[in-house]
Structure 1
Amino acid sequence: MAPDSKSEDKRVDILLVEPNPGDTRLFTESFKDAKLKNELYTVSDGDDALDMITQRGAYAETPQPDLILLEPKLPGKNGMDVLSELNNESALEGIPVVVLTSSDMGEDIVKSHELDADHYLQKPVEPEDFIRFVQEIEDLWFEIVQDTG
């Protein structure tokens, strides 16, 4: 069953929480190259991520994200702290979170903190693999919409 046309036409607001400027640039360029219908917002630490998700401070006018791509290793509040706050806040627990791991062990590390995300994806190592990676994210989004729609 394919997502309905309304879901396919809706712009998706994606929050990328990534401290590495090089990876952020690769994500941004790959999303543009893939021509996905979305708006990619980026922050580099857990405090800014939570401010944007809850629309406070400098992010009061920014839309609440439809999907969060979360790197667990962040300065300040780390990804585990962000995930914990999202899981404990009923108004936010409906936002799907994809934890970006750098190894096969990433999912185990998150779960060892007694936390769980909606999905786990291993970040690509090579720049040319980022386009395929963002297409995986788009496919994942359609799966989420289909499951909740």
Structure 2
Amino acid sequence: MKPQSEALEILLVEDNPADVDLILESFAETGNGTRLHPVRDGEDAMRFLRQEGEYGEAVRPDLVLLDLNLPRMDGREVLEAIKSDPELKVLPVIVLTSSQARKDITTSYQLHANCYITKPLGLSQFYRIAEAVEGFWQHVAVLPSGR
């Protein structure tokens, strides 16, 4: 296991306010200091990642939690844009969505998602996901950011 590192910076791309609240609460409960930066659609996600407009001072996230079903620019389009951008393509992307459709899973991996997680139903299951994400990406994996 690698040593404790700085807190993770995660871009959360999710349009459902209830899911945003559950995810924020889940990561807060782990006590690891992970900072989530929620945006509600794919266009804002890309502006955040490219530090454009109102996101000019945005931090470079260590990874992205991405819903597939988003307004304006859906998650598949966001994933494709991230993985085809020379500056962003090394950024790990975890698809966190309600879809269990085999087509969505396959398409996400074809677009180079690093992981596909189906959203759970309750807070305790979201908490387990938060712990697993932090445990792996903060303490086991070496991120492109060097954390």
Q: With the length of structure 2 as denominator, give the TM-score of the two structures.
A: 0.88
> Offset of 1:131 from its aligned partner?
1.1
- Consecutive unaligned residues in structure 2, runs of 5 or more: none
Give the letter aligned to residue 44 of structure 1: R
| Aligned counterpart for 1:62 among listed residues 55, 58, 62 | 58
Shift of residue 146 of structure 1? Answer: 7.4
CA–CA separation in structure 2 for the residues paired with 1:48 and 1:148? 22
Instruction: Give the structure 2 partner of residue 93 of structure 1.
Output: 89
Question: What residue number does 1:11 align with?
Answer: 7
Report the CA distance shift for 1:56/1:147 in structure 2 as closer, same or farther (over 3 A).
closer
Change (3 A) 1:84 1:27: same
Alignment match, 1:145: 142
* Structure 2 residue aligned with 1:48: 44
Q: Which runs of no fewer than 5 residues in structure 1 stay unpaired?
A: none
The yes-or-no answer on 1:111 pairing with 2:106 is: yes
Fraction of identical pairs, as percent:
35
May I ask how many residue pairs the two structures share in their alignment? Answer: 144
Q: Which has the higher helix share?
A: 1
Checking the alignment, whether the CA contact within 8 Å between 2:62 and 2:145 is kept in structure 1 is no
Tell me how large the CA RMSD over aligned residues is.
2.1
Label 1:9 to 1:116 Cα distance change in 2 as closer, same or farther (>3 A): closer
Q: How far 1:143 sits from its partner (Å)? A: 3.5
Task: Output one character per residue of 1:54-87: Cα deviation in whole Å (capped at 9) or x when no partner.
Answer: 1111111010111100001000000011011111
Say which SS state the counterpart of residue 28 (structure 2) adopts: helix
Change (3 A) 1:64 1:102: same
